[in-house]
Structure 1
Amino acid sequence: MNIYGASGHGKVVFDILKSRNIQIDSVFDDNFEVKEFLDFRVIHKPNKDQLKKPTVLAIGNNAIRKKVALKYEGVISEAISHSRAIISENIQIGGGTVIMPGAIINSGCSIGKYCIINSGAVVEHDVRLGDFVHIAPNAVLTGNVSVAEGTQVGTGASIIPGVKIGKWASIGAGAVIIEDVPDFAVVVGNPGKIIKYIDE
């Protein structure tokens, strides 16, 4: 399997694959200044043979991850998870999603494509995540929460049951979300308040 993304996030993905005894063949990155990644020479322009093997995206930024996912559509791997993640059998997970060590995903959840469920995050029962969502370390999504495409839920944020969060929003670290959040909103604090909107 290949890794796309020679960064700190890529190192965690590397560990995920190792935890599953998955062989790592090549590491790709568009940044020509990055020459090496752990024990690998970084490949900047993969050839057709290299792209025949499944590739896992290791890109933390949601917008960039979407751009690369569209570029490499057809070679992206199925969802991968660390061996120490706790994942219910009664869920749906889209291709390209990455689940970090210590994450918990409980029954009835639907996780979109190319999501990141980061270290120690809790995704409770019947949560719905759109594509390209990132749930940061130790964030907690309680039951029946929905998060639309491209939204970032910050480190240690908490979202109460049934809240709906729009697309491409940003939830600040430690925020407590007690009401619905519109598209493109940036929300911080306890209780969470909108401080601005992201330019669509």
Structure 2
Amino acid sequence: MRKNVLITLFCTFAIIGLWGYFYKKYKVNEPYPYMNVFTLNYTDLTIKELEKRVVEDNDRKAYDQLLYSDNTTDYIYDSDKNKSLFYSLLMANTCHYPSAYYDVYNLLDSYEYYCNCKVVNNHLVHEKSPFSFDKVTRQFMIDNLKKGAALGDMQANKCLGELYLEGKYLPKDTVLGKMLIKKSGY
């Protein structure tokens, strides 16, 4: 009986200690949530510092950290698509960064997709009466995807290949589609 009490107390203190350690380690100390960035490269930069590096220095690494870092995914990429689109357009047009061209396409395409969804019983359901971009916007998206693919972005090659295979937004071309998917390494 006494042994069970000691084991229970030990486990309780261990759990409280671990909770305290991780709470202190990952606690955001700045006034706004998501201001500290624990990035994939384990650097600690604020969102403002990353934004400044992207805008002023056209820093590709800062761009990747800003859009794809662990803690900012919800803040930048998912919930603030306008900022993501701005930085993607900036990096695509000033630096000709291949993944930024793909990001422009992907952000606009996901915006179009989610505009056609509704929540039913806590599940996202895609509706059959879709909102669709006009031809000029669609062509802009495809042009960015093609530029990213031409510059060697693997995701852009895969996505463009899939569009050619499906005949979606582009004339159906199975040979070119398979070649682009093979080139992407997928």
**TM-score, shorter chain, exceeding 0.5:** no
Q: TM-score, normalised by structure 1?
A: 0.25
Larger of the two Rg values belongs to structure: 2
Q: TM-score, normalised by structure 2?
A: 0.26
> Which structure dedicates a bigger proportion of its chain to strand?
1
